[in-house]
Amino acid sequence: MNATDQQPKKPDLEAFAAAWKGAAGFACGFANKQQQFFRWPEQRPQLEAWVDAQNNRQSAYVGWCLFSEPSRAADRASVLPGILIDLDLASGNHAKKNYAPSATDALAVLRQTALPEPSRIISSGGGLYLHYLFDEPLILAEQADRARAAAVTEGVTAIIRNALQTQGWALDNVSDLARITRPVGTRNWKYDDLRVVELVSETQERLTVADYEMLIGAGAHRRAAERTSVASAVEVERKGGEFALIEKHCGFVRRLSETPQDVSEPEWYAVATLAAHCEDGEDGFHRLSALDSARYCEDDTASKLRHARKVKPRTCSDIETSLGSSACAQCPFRAADMVSPYKLAFGDGKLLELQAQYVLSAQTDSYHPVSGDMPALPAVSFNNHFAHRLERIHSLFIHDPRSPKVIGTDYIAGDRRLIIQRPDGTAVLNEWKPGGLEAVDGGTEVIDEHFALLLPKDHERDWVLDYLAHLLQQPAIKVKHAIMLIGEPGVGKSFINDLLTGLFGEHNVKVDDAAIHASDYKRALGNKQVLIIEEMATSSKWEVTNALKPWFTSEKVVANEKYIRAHEVRSPRGIFIHTNHAVPAVFEPGERRNAVFRVDAPARDQAYYDRLFRIGAQQFSAFKARLLQRDISEWSPNARPPVTEAKTEIIEASRTPVAADIQELLRTDRIRKDLVTVQEAVALLAHPLSIAGGPSSSKVTKGLQELGARKLQKTKLSDGSTVDLWAVRNTQRWLSATHAERKAHYEGMVGPSGIVLGLVGETARLQNV
């Protein structure tokens, strides 16, 4: 980023004007150890002229703060625009040589800290100026204000210094309020070659003073009357961080206190590498080690810590892969910008509580609870809900590298990882949770009896059992059709709900008993293993049926959620619909999204249901074991579901009147051949005494389509006329037939011997009645 071999530019004070935001005071110009003051903003032109003149022969500077009087003393500072960091680089002309080797290296390290991206990055010619601007300048009216300014400046500087020190790089003390800096466009006369101060990048990032205080830890705001030192997280970081925070929020470390007797020696030593570098680590590690009284030895534990101090803290990746820690799979911090659990030691305790419980989705700008037992919170609601814990919590969360952040959510059933890394490098939150009862061999006679009651036909019952077995054996593979049970209330359909919850776990089953499927906000139906629709909405059946189609067959759908922008969710792996209505939906001919079963059995006595819900529920584990062992090698989740009598009845009842009338013509052989024109169908449907002349051509066309008829290519007849023929039977055959075959069939007649009879004569006969 060195600005070498560049043309001189006119000095630009706009950065100062933007930072001070209309505040008034004295601005300080500085050159060759001489300073001059100008009333700001009235004398801005004079200051600009002065800087321009100095820049022609020597380095010119401007004070970072405004002052209450013409003095650069720290106690006269009156306006602090933000935090200025003067970061020298090894490539510059400096007395010290242990600076960061390049701007890229330095910024990469700083991006690992809790700090936001600098509002401005400026190349000074020998290093970088980093501007961390406040959203509003801090007015320093009293000594307490200056103490606060000094504390927050020192705190942020300490975070940066500590981060650089991890690489062995230095940062000079640049945290005083009397600091001066080079304006953009001035020349750095420290070098023989021409180096011009240039703006490298600028963002709109502006935090409040309180935001920075929270980033560096509680206590950064010092009160002059108290005269106490800053007890901030930055101070802790200087000393090595808090092991107690690692112990509380790292599942791998927490295992030591939960089951110390099961922890191996390599695992103990891995924890020692974390504790050894923390301020309270020695006491904490001894305390944990002592929980395993059979193996604990104070001298051996102290020896572990001495060796551990000589190595770096173990990384998350190493803990998961080398030590096989199962806790890592469910760790939300896999979505954070942290390499080792050691980074938890430098977090804010209150913020870490929320970071361990929530994951931020960039797709929806909402917070998803890791537990999955509550809906996501929009950023505004998250701020409001936890305002009593921390001020502007959303801002703190998004800027802290320990915060779990993902591009979006997904539902990968059977994958136990909470955070899943995609091939493109992005991460998603997996909302699937292991659940359901443990499978245990045993008797299932009560459940079997109830299934036989609901589904007395063996082939239908077996198909439903295969469906259930697939959901357990292949949990990530969607079944592209639903099971619909139609029956009177009280027969025991609700027992299936309890069974499904027992098999898959409450978190993975959504029971829609509030007609969510018919609303505009269907997000709650997604990212679930099983969806149970308690009763299909019967108003606007066409609209509801069509709106649900993608949920039955598509892998993912776009869904709305109140107060959160629409986003993709994974559709349920299996869908069950319970209804008391004989015709709960509208089905087209050839419908393949539903397997429909009618429960004709009458309700049994109360003793039956008492036994079912008491003994049957105790058999869920055994039923699960049986389904997991069931052979479903011949069953396909993509195949057409069975066409049952109940489904055929719904299809028939779903037809429009015109389609039903055409179906009747076909059933009674009024249409005796496979091909027909719309006009002929209109004539056949016209009542002999009707003046209207039958339904319109458009209605007949829709009726033919509804029945699955297919329009063929134009056919030229023997008389020279051209007709549009529709195949109402054997459609696949006629779609591939030749022109000659279509013509011969349509013009042919069928007598008693089986030869085709045309419709023309039949139509004429009807019209001449």
pLDDT tens, residue by residue, 672-724: 889 999 998 888 888 665 455 678 899 899 889 888 899 999 999 999 999 99
Does the pTM surpass 0.85? The reply is no
Q: Which residue has the tokens 């007949």?
A: 700
pLDDT the model gives residue 288 = 92
pLDDT the model gives residue 266 = 83
Tell me the residue type at 197.
V
- Model confidence at 286, pLDDT cuts 50, 70, 90, reads very high
Q: Summarize the chain as % helix, strand, coil (round to 5).
A: 40, 20, 45
236 pLDDT higher than 50: no
Whole-number Å distance between alpha carbons of 587 and 522: 21
pLDDT the model gives residue 214 = 63
- Model confidence at 225, pLDDT cuts 50, 70, 90, reads very low
pLDDT the model gives residue 588 = 74
Residues 6+ apart with CB under 8 A from 440: 621, 622, 625
Residue 420, number of CB atoms within 10 A of its CB = 16
**How many residues comprise the chain?**
769
| Mean of pLDDT values over 718-740 | 92
Whole-number Å distance between alpha carbons of 680 and 658: 14
**What does each C-alpha distance from 331 to 420, 470, 496, 677 come to in angstroms?**
11, 29, 34, 66
| Mean of pLDDT values over 64-70 | 95
Give residue-wise pLDDT tens across range 470-485: 999 999 999 999 999 9
Among 85, 108, 246, CA closest to 158: 85
- Give the DSSP H/E element, type plus range, for residue 80: strand 77-88
pLDDT the model gives residue 350 = 94
Whole-number Å distance between alpha carbons of 621 and 618: 7
> pLDDT > 70: what percent of the chain?
89
Domains of the chain, earliest start first: 14-230 (no CATH), 239-430 (no CATH), 445-649 (3.40.50.300), 655-767 (no CATH)
Give residue-wise pLDDT tens across range 414-462: 999 999 998 888 999 999 999 999 999 999 999 999 999 999 999 999 9
72 pLDDT higher than 70: yes
pLDDT the model gives residue 483 = 94
